[in-house]
């Protein structure tokens, strides 16, 4: 049986030049610089001649020796000093690596002392000694629980509290193996080389990937009536669901609030054309994101949101959730017409009037403007910026038109700086009216007016429940204003309503 070995080389000699490495006469590594660590090379088991030379100078050999390699992993560390002034002679130390699987939930860590002028060292973490009294050329392994560590390399003392020479922050993942090489001079000044002390970390074994199949999902662009969408394909190795998110998953990072739909439970395996119902529906074109979730509690019910993320989490790959996004077009959304509802009402105590707007299809920069007629001109009573399909309260700062007929207009391309209450609407702005509606708005009566109103309702023909209301009610003014949600200027024809009011008042006076 032909067995193989793995061998890598570490250049840890602080006064040596860049080197080339030969195995059995063949150059396998070239121009390796100080603190460089090669990848593992695959060699046959048995004896091999290892030679190290100055880079580009095959006749300048600094080390040549025969090493025996078994069926495992090895690290050849070039350490010591090539100068005659050095305290530690140059050599190549071949270390046998233990890259086997660490115990469950733990990582394996090794330290190699390769600093020629450093004393023996202790290595501590969180006050505990992981390694004690390690001399030059020495090494050893320990296993630690998975977690984040700050490793301090200290001058060796009985209490393990010697001066800290250097520190290494290590995020140890369960199943992984690490080596920390302490290299360079603690005191470069006066030394044969000028390479300062440092710690070179390596990952000798990466956490093994889960052999289980990875979930996948494919969600293509599509059209919908708004009540559901279809996922082209999904693979859920352990069973689960397809969860549909809106764009706030990305824009706001809202994994719970962004959920707009969940599929029925899916058995383990591959599925095609999976329907995901959208309980609240969607009424505008948008991007949706499909995400496969596990059924972690085995009840075949989606509990991720109710458990605030503790159950039925998403399938993951490469450190993130498995997702696919698609553009969803709502059929008929492009034909939706904006509308405004403005009913007869009394001016609110806060000086506001209530208007309902469905602004489907409107772009940015649309505003709701409330006006009244004054001597043939439209005067602004209040202005409010539109949001998506809102019931709005527009504060009326100019009450000169009360009581009387008012019009609520949705106007596009309007700047907040264009108008203030009391201003007269320009013809240009009137041309940007999208839709409007008329209503009769009366002022609220204070407590002192109630008694007078009770005594004068029948005689004076004033507003609520009076004689003139019958002649100038909603039906009469609606038919006369010619608005009916039209485009452009129709909402600015409140003159007819004013004429009707005047006529009604005259009739009442004659009677």
Q: 425-476, pLDDT tens digit by residue?
A: 887 777 778 788 888 888 766 554 443 444 333 333 332 333 333 333 343 3
Indicate whether 266 pLDDT > 90.
yes
More confident: 423 or 413: 423
Residue 211 lies in a domain: no
470 and 342 both lie in a single domain: yes
Residue 34 lies in a domain: yes
106 and 181 both lie in a single domain: yes
Q: Give residue 309's region: left, alpha or beta (phi > 0; psi -120 to 50).
A: left
Cα separations in angstroms, 413 against 288, 325, 416: 29, 33, 10
| Paired tokens of 375 | 């001597």
The predicted pLDDT at position 431 comes to 77
Is 219 within 8 Å of 231 (Cβ atoms)? yes
Return the axis-axis angle of helices 495-510 and 474-481, rounded to nearest 10°.
140
Domain end marker among 205, 229, 248: 205
CATH of the domain at 271: 2.60.40
Residue 15 has phi, psi (to 5 degrees) of -115, 10
Q: Residue 405 — very low, low, confident or very high, per pLDDT cuts 50/70/90?
A: confident
User: Average pLDDT, stretch 172-187?
Assistant: 94
The predicted pLDDT at position 140 comes to 95
From CA 443, how far away is CA 399, in angstroms rounded?
9
From CA 354, how far away is CA 347, in angstroms rounded?
9
User: What pTM does this model have?
Assistant: 0.45
Residue 62 lies in a domain: yes
Q: Measured in whole angstroms, how far is the alpha carbon of residue 244 from the centre of its chain? A: 16
Q: Are strands 4-11 and 41-44 parallel, antiparallel or unpaired?
A: antiparallel
Q: For residue 312, what are the domain limits? A: 216-330
From CA 9, how far away is CA 369, in angstroms rounded?
77
The predicted pLDDT at position 485 comes to 37
The predicted pLDDT at position 487 comes to 36
The predicted pLDDT at position 467 comes to 31
Is 71 within 8 Å of 58 (Cβ atoms)? no
The predicted pLDDT at position 209 comes to 46
The CA dihedral of 139, 143, 144, 146, to the nearest 10 degrees, is 120
Beta pairing partners, 43: 5
193 and 235 both lie in a single domain: no
Q: Residue 332 — very low, low, confident or very high, per pLDDT cuts 50/70/90?
A: low
Q: What is the mean pLDDT of the chain?
A: 81
Indicate whether 402 pLDDT > 80.
no
Q: Residue 387 — very low, low, confident or very high, per pLDDT cuts 50/70/90?
A: low
349 and 493 both lie in a single domain: yes
Percent of the chain with pLDDT over 70: 79
The predicted pLDDT at position 454 comes to 42
| Paired tokens of 384 | 């409010």
Q: Which helix (H) or strand (E) holds 448?
A: helix 447-460
190 and 52 both lie in a single domain: yes
The predicted pLDDT at position 357 comes to 78
Max distance between CA atoms of the chain, in angstroms, equals 129
Residue 129 lies in a domain: yes
Indicate whether 416 pLDDT > 70.
no
User: How many Å from the N-terminal Cα to the C-terminal Cα in the chain?
Assistant: 122
145 and 15 both lie in a single domain: yes
User: Average pLDDT, stretch 69-88?
Assistant: 92
Residue identified by tokens 């739909």 is: 261
117 and 199 both lie in a single domain: yes
From CA 61, how far away is CA 165, in angstroms rounded?
33
User: Average pLDDT, stretch 483-492?
Assistant: 37
24-38, 76-90, 212-226, 287-301: least confidently modelled range: 212-226
170 and 37 both lie in a single domain: yes
Contacts of 56 (CB under 8 A, 6+ apart): 20, 31
20-34, 39-53, 209-223: least confidently modelled range: 209-223
Q: What is the pLDDT of residues 278-323, one digit of tens each?
A: 998 888 888 999 999 999 888 999 998 888 777 898 998 876 789 9
Domain end marker among 177, 205, 233: 205
Q: Which helix (H) or strand (E) holds 104?
A: none
436 and 341 both lie in a single domain: yes
The predicted pLDDT at position 502 comes to 33
User: Average pLDDT, stretch 250-275?
Assistant: 91
From CA 80, how far away is CA 355, in angstroms rounded?
85
466 and 406 both lie in a single domain: yes
| Paired tokens of 302 | 């989606």
Query: How many domains, the chain?
Result: 3
From CA 290, how far away is CA 220, in angstroms rounded?
10
Domain end marker among 170, 205, 240: 205
Start-end of H helices in 369-446:
427-430
Q: What is the pLDDT of residues 347-363, one digit of tens each?
A: 887 778 888 877 655 55
Q: What is the pLDDT of residues 157-179, one digit of tens each?
A: 999 999 999 999 999 998 999 99
CATH of the domain at 383: 2.60.40.10
Nearest to 117 by CA among 49, 178, 165, 57: 165
From CA 291, how far away is CA 254, in angstroms rounded?
14
255 and 350 both lie in a single domain: no
Residue 88 has phi, psi (to 5 degrees) of -120, 115
User: Average pLDDT, stretch 259-283?
Assistant: 93
Percent of the chain with pLDDT over 90: 47
Indicate whether 72 pLDDT > 80.
yes
Print burial letters for 214-235: b (CB count within 10 Å at least 16), e (below 16): ebbbebeeeebebebbebbebb
Residue 486 lies in a domain: yes
123-132, 330-339, 419-428: least confidently modelled range: 330-339
The predicted pLDDT at position 428 comes to 77
325 and 406 both lie in a single domain: no
Residue 210 lies in a domain: no
CB atoms inside a 10 Å sphere around CB 360 = 16
The predicted pLDDT at position 493 comes to 35
């Amino acid at each position: 049986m032909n067995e193989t070995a793995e061998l890598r080389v570490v250049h840890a000699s602080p006064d040596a030049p860049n080197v080339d490495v030969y195995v059995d006469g063949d150059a396998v590594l070239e121009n390796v610089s100080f603190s460089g660590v090669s990848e593992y090379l695959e060699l046959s088991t048995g004896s091999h001649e290892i030679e190290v030379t100055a880079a580009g100078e095959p006749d300048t050999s600094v080390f040549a020796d025969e090493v025996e390699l078994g069926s495992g992993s090895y690290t050849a560390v070039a350490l010591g000093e090539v100068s005659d002034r050095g305290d530690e002679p140059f050599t190549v130390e071949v270390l046998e690596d233990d890259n086997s699987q660490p115990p469950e939930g733990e990582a394996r860590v090794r330290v190699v002392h390769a600093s020629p002028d450093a004393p023996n060292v202790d290595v501590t973490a969180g006050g505990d000694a992981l390694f004690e009294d390690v001399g030059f050329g020495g090494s050893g392994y320990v296993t630690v629980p998975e977690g984040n560590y700050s490793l301090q390399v200290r001058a060796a003392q009985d209490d393990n509290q010697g001066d800290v020479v250097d520190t290494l922050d290590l995020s140890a993942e369960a199943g992984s193996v690490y080596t920390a090489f302490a290299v360079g001079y603690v005191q470069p000044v006066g030394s044969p080389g000028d390479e300062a002390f440092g710690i070179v970390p390596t990952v000798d074994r990466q956490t093994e990937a889960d052999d289980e199949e990875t979930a996948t999902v494919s969600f293509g662009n599509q059209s919908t009536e708004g009540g559901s969408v279809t996922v082209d394909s999904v693979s859920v190795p352990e069973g689960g669901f397809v969860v549909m998110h809106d764009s706030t998953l990305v824009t706001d990072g809202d994994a719970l609030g962004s959920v707009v739909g969940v599929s029925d439970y899916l058995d383990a395996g591959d599925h095609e054309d999976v329907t995901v119902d959208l309980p609240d529906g969607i009424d505008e074109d948008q991007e949706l994101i499909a995400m496969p979730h596990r059924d972690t509690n085995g009840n075949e019910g989606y509990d991720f949101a109710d458990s605030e993320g503790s159950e039925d989490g998403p399938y993951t790959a490469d450190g993130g959730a498995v997702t696919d996004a698609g553009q969803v077009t709502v059929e008929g959304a492009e034909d939706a017409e904006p509308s405004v509802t403005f009913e007869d009402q009394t001016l609110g105590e806060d000086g506001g009037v209530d208007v309902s707007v469905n602004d489907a299809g409107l772009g940015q920069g649309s505003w709701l403007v409330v006006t009244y007629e004054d001597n043939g001109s439209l005067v602004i009573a209040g202005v409010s910026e539109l949001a998506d399909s809102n019931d709005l309260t527009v504060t009326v700062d100019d009450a000169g038109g009360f009581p009387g007929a008012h019009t609520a207009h949705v106007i596009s391309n309007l700047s907040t700086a264009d108008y203030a209450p009391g201003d007269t609407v320009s013809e240009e702005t009137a041309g940007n009216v999208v839709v409007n509606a008329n209503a009769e708005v009366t002022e609220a009566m204070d407590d002192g007016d109630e008694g007078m109103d009770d005594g004068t309702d029948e005689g004076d023909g004033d507003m609520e429940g009076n004689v003139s209301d019958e002649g100038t009610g909603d039906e009469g003014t609606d038919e006369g204003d010619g608005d009916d949600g039209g485009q452009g200027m129709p909402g600015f024809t409140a003159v007819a309503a004013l004429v009707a009011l005047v006529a009604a008042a005259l009739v009442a006076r004659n009677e």
